[in-house]
Structure 1
Amino acid sequence: MALISGDPGRISRRSSVLRSVAIALVVVLVGSAIWSTVRLIDDLIHGGSETSSANALLLAGGSVWASTVLAFSLLYFELDSGGPAARAHHMPPTPALAFPQQLSPEVKAPHWRPRYIDYLYLGFTNSTALSPTDVMPLASWAKSVMALQSILSLMILGLVVARAVNVLA
């Protein structure tokens, strides 16, 4: 709401204040996803109400995993190539994340720019494959963030599935 009220209609202006607020909000979401993962792992280790039932555990684990995918996709969306407003005006010659359309110009539609769905797909595939699939991280921050997302996803998927199988058995 803060971002929409700062630039009603479309968030297309390159305001440093709006960009800072957007990044801060996304960092809070990522921090929340990390905290949720830590809490879930703590509950798995020390026993929690949702860890004694396979259904509750899979629901909690799925929620934490989905929030991690969404939070990291928003982080990629905000940080890559100066953010969405900057990408709308021009694409830098060296982006932080290289999409297939940038690596193979013959498959690129005219005036193609990565949109949120591209970053959501990146977040999803990074959380399921635990590595880059078709989007390559070029910048150090992108490699670090993708590694962090993969570690969180591995912990969520590995521990939740292992405990759920144990509860079911």
Structure 2
Amino acid sequence: MRREPGSGAAERPDAETRWPMAAAVIVAMGLTVVLPDDLRLGRPWMLPVISGLLLLALLAGDPGRISRRTTELRVASVALISVLSVGAIWSTVQLVDDILDDGRATDSAGELLQASASVWLCTVIACALLYFELDGGGAAARAERMPRSPDLAFPQQLNPGVAPDGWRPHFIDYLYLGLTNATAFSPTDVMPLARWAKAVMSLQAVTSLAITGLVVARAVNVLR
């Protein structure tokens, strides 16, 4: 396994644990399984199996804390997030199509709420993982050294006086960013500075707004 420059085999004490990120991936895998067949990409087992194998590869290659920087781990992490993102995009497009065409996956209030909530949460998790992986070169790179010019500016970075020395964003911070961006449809306390961050946050806000608006309109027709 080839190491990137600056990588080390020993765990860094300030590196974050991988388990919150792994838990989010497992939740996304479960949400994919319970989605209606019309809204899911492939068979019920396909995306969870692929995601599970990639997650196991990450846990085996860098267990405990995220501290090793290697090409193989980076590829596995990007592949995992890509699989979840493609699945979320596919489900979102199919949900919108089903709502507009009065499809069977959303023809009752219960099915509509379950399907839309599952798709919405999948998009939140996928975007949180994207922020987590791309900001500052990833968690292992952030553990080694925070970039002088961040891609995403957290309040603790803009005002160091409110944070302890050596503060670094962890996965829960990116999950909070994904959740608030999906509910407020705009930045709240985290400012996107890099172009990729602005693009992802814009896409997430538009997607969340479309899902919310269409679900409300569909719910009015279903409950009428």
Provide the TM-score with structure 2 as the length reference.
0.73
User: Per-residue CA shift, 1:89-120, capped at 9, x if unaligned?
Assistant: 11000010000000011101121100000000
Residue pairs, 1:3-152, within 5 angstroms: 3-152=58-207
Distance in 1 (alpha carbons) for counterparts of 2:216 and 2:66: 40
Name the CA distance, whole Å, in 1 between partners of 2:69 and 2:129.
17
More helix by share: 1
- Identity rate of aligned residues, in percent? 64
Q: Which runs of at least 4 in structure 1 moved beyond 6 Å after TM superposition? A: none
Q: What are structure 1's unaligned runs of at least 5 residues?
A: none
1:17-52 CA deviation, whole Å, 9 max, x = no partner?
Answer: 211220121022111111100010111122222221
Number of equivalenced pairs: 169
Structure 2 partner of 1:158: 213
Q: State how far apart, in whole Å, the 2-side matches of 1:58 and 1:9 are.
A: 37
Q: Structure with the greater relative contact order (CA < 8 A, sep ≥ 6): 1 or 2?
A: 1
- CA–CA distance in structure 2, aligned partners of residues 91 and 5 of structure 1: 25
